Amino acid sequence: MNIKPLSDHVVIEAQKSSEKTESGIFLPDNAQKEKPEQGTVIAVGPGRKTDDGKIVPVSVKAGDKVLFTKYGPAEIKFNNKDYLIASEGDILAVIE
């Protein structure tokens, strides 16, 4: 990966939405699908800089599975692959 996020930003590979509902119904490709809300952290920035110049490290690391806000992250395409770039504040939880 050649993306190095700045500040407290995190690059996330979103989990693909399921083609099948929990009740077993398969969704066609043109069906309205919601944006993903979980994914895997690919890269992490160094952290947020405080007013006195200290760096506060990001609390997630590459490989973590996370839940994030639906509309917070920015969508990007890099090397023909879709990623999300989120601020640490857009990450709600780590899935263990």
**pLDDT at residue 94 tops 80:** yes
Q: How many domains does the chain have?
A: 1
CATH of the domain at 61: 2.30.33.40
**Whole-structure pTM over 0.85, yes or no?**
no
Residue 89 lies in a domain: yes
Q: What is the pLDDT of residue 16?
A: 73
State which residues form the domain around 59.
Answer: 9-16+35-95
| Burial class of residue 95 (count of CB atoms within 10 Å of its CB; 0-12, 13-18, 19+) | exposed
Q: What is the pLDDT of residue 29?
A: 55
Q: Long-range contacts of range 58-63, CB-CB < 8 Å, 24 or more positions apart?
A: 58/8, 58/10, 58/88, 59/88, 60/10, 60/88, 60/91, 60/94
Give pLDDT tens digits for 22-72: 676 766 555 545 566 899 999 999 999 999 999 999 999 999 999 999 888
Residue 21 lies in a domain: no
